[in-house]
Chains A and B, each alone.
Chain A
């Protein structure tokens, strides 16, 4: 039948168009990242005209940022600040999220209060925190960053765990209470294990946000003793002139932990981000 043929043909064209657009979309997303990667490996990206794929590769830029420059110091600072502040945010957030899903004291006011932290511009928190701590010599320390990151970490981790706690059936807890376990025992032995996936995705998302944070670190730290990775990276365009090769290499090193963390979380990450 001619008509079916025609129908099949137009279907094929639509199909091809759909895949072409999706292909372009993926090139748009991945192209810049691949370019970062190649720039970090190219022999002389400052002077050579750009090549889609470099013909010669070198690990010199990686060696330079890791050994000739101080990138490891900044990595150390980022790891310490991110780990400690994430740990505090998630512990505090887990307690709050559990109480909010089960009893909701204050009828929604508390969760609104916690979430409203998102409406504070970071610079509007950074400046007064700077002024509070400059007098007692806390500027340029890990502890001031750890504290300053809590308004980022607590809301996001509470929000994600809220979603996961809501899915834990109340009946399980009631059953364990009938068996004579105390509330705390129930929480430790029933709720926490069931909530573990939610807690880990909260931790991962919180850690990514803190690892990437720039504005607070810019205001509250001044030297490499306490400065974090984003400050180091931004330094490529302001203080040291532009060294494209090192910039590419440093960028790749800086995003490696994020790649690993998001790989570990994968589908739960999707759930966490969409906030269902």
Chain B
């Protein structure tokens, strides 16, 4: 920072160092410039590259306009991966939301004393690498020596049969990410003033009515944020599934991120990989935008409430 303090720079800026805007722009510049260089620029080159064919060795070849897109969109495997990913996102986020809400309400019921400890004890899975989550569940679900089949006396090929391989990746995701909902929900519940509940009781509200008219409205912002975070993150699913099922059986549990990778680095077709990457981004951005639009009102009204 001391370099910024030198008189040379001060002079060159014509004494504008005292101008708040100039300083603010100087402070945000490094972050913005780095992100433009390592995220936006590569992303734009991907859009450009998606209009070309590539040689097997990865060299840019002929201009083909939208041919890569039509190839990808008519590939049953890509469509299947898209369908699976969307279904996966909807299922895991819904279950995690409901389970997380239930557990949070229990932790914040009047019966429980050491709430903070319980919350902290609930967190470990979400700190792990998805690879570790995948390996952990692979160990548990492997047919012959896995603990799950052993404990429940079942004989299910969890990782290599329909629909169990889909169940397996969904269960692993729920295990990993329900803690985030518990964390956010309990933190929000803690911040709701007790007076509200006292008032509700004076009005003769039942437990359910209190939840519906006091707890839920107070949690709107938190719910909006955590849903947005989770949907975006769930769309990126790749390593967990890669480690658990390798996308199998066949390509039954293959996700969009996996097929995009496979186009480029298994089938060595970078043109298709680029087109798939662009379509993937569009889908994810679209989903995020829809959620953002539907919750933006909530966020704004919540902000004005303060």
A residues lining the B interface (CB < 8 Å): 14-15, 18-19, 21-22, 25-26, 28-30, 32-33, 35-36, 39, 45-50, 52, 88, 91-93, 95-96, 98-100, 102-106, 110, 113-114, 117-125, 127-132, 134, 147-148, 150-151, 154-155, 158, 182-185, 187-188, 208, 211-215, 218-219, 229-230, 233-234, 236-238, 242, 244, 247-248, 251, 254-255, 258, 262, 266-267, 270, 273-276
Contacts and interface: CB of A to CB of B under 8 A. Distances in A.
Given A35-B147, A92-B34, A114-B31, 7 more contacts: A103-B23, A123-B277, A127-B277, A219-B265, A234-B135, A248-B139, A255-B132
B277 A103 contact: no
B260 A127 contact: yes
Contacts of B106: 18, 21-22, 25
A123 B261 contact: yes
A102 B281 contact: no
A124 B278 contact: yes
Interface in B68-111: 103, 106-107, 109, 111
B45 A128 contact: yes
20 contacts: A29-B124, A91-B30, A96-B28, A96-B30, A103-B20, A120-B43, A121-B280, A121-B281, A127-B260, A128-B49, A129-B42, A131-B45, A131-B270, A185-B5, A188-B1, A214-B131, A234-B134, A270-B119, A274-B222, A276-B187
Interface stretch (B162-170, B198-206, B235-243): B235-243
Given A39-B139, A128-B43, A244-B145, A212 B1 contact: no
A19 to B, nearest CB: 7
A92 B30 contact: yes
A22 B184 CA distance: 17
Contacts of A131: 45, 49, 58, 270
A134 B146 CA distance: 42
B122 A99 contact: no
B139 A214 contact: no
A51 to B, nearest CB: 9
Contact size range, B: 35 or more
B190 to A, nearest CB: 10
Contacts of B35: 113-114, 117, 150-151, 154-155
Contacts of B270: 127, 131
Contacts of B214: none
B299 interface: no
Contact of A254 (B111, B123, B129, B188): B129
Interface string B159-188: 000000000000000010001100110011
B100 to A, nearest CB: 10
A183 B23 contact: yes
B24 interface: yes
Contact of B261 (A46, A151, A215): A215
A28 B137 CA distance: 12
Contacts of A22: 103, 106-107, 112, 118
Contacts of A275: 225
B195 interface: no
B273 A127 contact: yes
B128 interface: yes
B128 to A, nearest CB: 6
A191 B124 CA distance: 32
B212 to A, nearest CB: 20
B145 A214 contact: no
Contacts of A47: 145
A32 B123 CA distance: 13
